[in-house]
Amino acid sequence: MNLIDKYLTYVKSIRRYSDRTVESYRSVLENFCLHTSDGQKYSDDQLLAALNQSEIRHWSAELMKCGLGAKSANHHLSVLSGFCRYLLKEGYLQTNPVRLVPRPKEERRLPVFYKSEAMENYFKTTEHNADRNSLDDFLENPESDVASAHYKARLSRLIVSLLYNLGLRRSELVSLQIRDVDFGRNVVRVKGKGNKMREIPIVASLCEEILLYLEAVDALVGGKRSLTEPLLITESGRKLYPVYVDRAVKAQLAGREGITGQKSPHILRHSLATGLLDNGTDLNSIKELLGHSSLAATQVYTHNSVAKLKSIYESAHPRAKNGGKNGD
């Protein structure tokens, strides 16, 4: 087993990274090897010899020259740095050469989010897709075409509800099982990045929406399901998948008052975090809710709040309104 395979085995088995992440890391590391060996096969000795400041700097420049953005180039460097830290720990290297390589400067972009008022308006105008009356209509004939459309609308609304109310990542949403919802304690257990578990409280209205949805599912499949089955399934009975979630979010938010621009699951997550911060929630609590590994990842939302504060200042402060001039 070569050094790259050893490292990838380590991050998968010990660090518990997902298969998707492991394959992404493999692609980056093999890209570095192909660059340093001019596309030829390489040995572990050749790889170790290439792990120097000069070679890594040249690789970084080539990535940018090939059209990679600064953020993607920095991701490549971060993956290589993680590999070097592993080699350092195992005694193959004496220093981490990536630390000496300047990182491409990224343009700072604030997280996009939907205002709380716009989301409240969405939930109000779609509440008929989450209530008991429409469910009773569905239960009368769950195999009809009309019932299928109703189920899809109910599912899509619940997808948005869970993403926004719990601040879930898309991967966390599709991985939810029935047993992850504890109706007795009003919490949802979520498996996040690195298989880290966290519990998120859920409000009574969301509990009710989930319970009614589960009644619809039972009717759709013709009986009770086991607690280890997926919480959410499509109208054809399949486990929910990422593309379905993306389409559902876009369809649900299209044309809604106050919701413009890109429509994605992650923006719903941003929207919850920004709304909580604007309402006075401390950063540590938001960090725990979102499942961030460090506070630095959560602090990006403070920039949105500062922007809001600046807007309020400029529109309301007496001196800001007259340009800071003396007098009236």
Please identify which of the residues 6, 193, 225, 250 carries the catalytic annotation: 193
Tell me whether residue 292 is one of the annotated catalytic residues: yes
- Reading the block at residue 56, the tokens are 């890594």
Tell me whether residue 169 is one of the annotated catalytic residues: yes
C-beta of residue 303 within 8 angstroms of C-beta of residue 273: no
Tell me whether residue 266 is one of the annotated catalytic residues: yes
Sign of the dihedral through C-alpha 79, 85, 87, 92: positive
H helix runs in 90-169, sequence order:
116-125, 132-140, 145-166
- Reading the block at residue 48, the tokens are 């170790």
Using alpha carbons only, what angle is made at residue 173 by residues 287 and 294, rounded to the nearest 5 degrees?
20
Tell me whether residue 26 is one of the annotated catalytic residues: no
Please identify which of the residues 170, 263, 287, 292 carries the catalytic annotation: 292
Q: List phi, psi (to 5°) of 314.
A: -70, -30
Please identify which of the residues 150, 170, 269, 270 carries the catalytic annotation: 269
Tell me whether residue 115 is one of the annotated catalytic residues: no
Q: What does the alpha-carbon distance between residue 237 and residue 217 come to, in Å, rounded to a whole number? A: 9
Q: What does the alpha-carbon distance between residue 249 and residue 235 come to, in Å, rounded to a whole number? A: 16
Please identify which of the residues 12, 26, 189, 266 carries the catalytic annotation: 266
Please identify which of the residues 150, 157, 169, 270 carries the catalytic annotation: 169
Catalytic residue positions?
169, 193, 266, 269, 292, 301
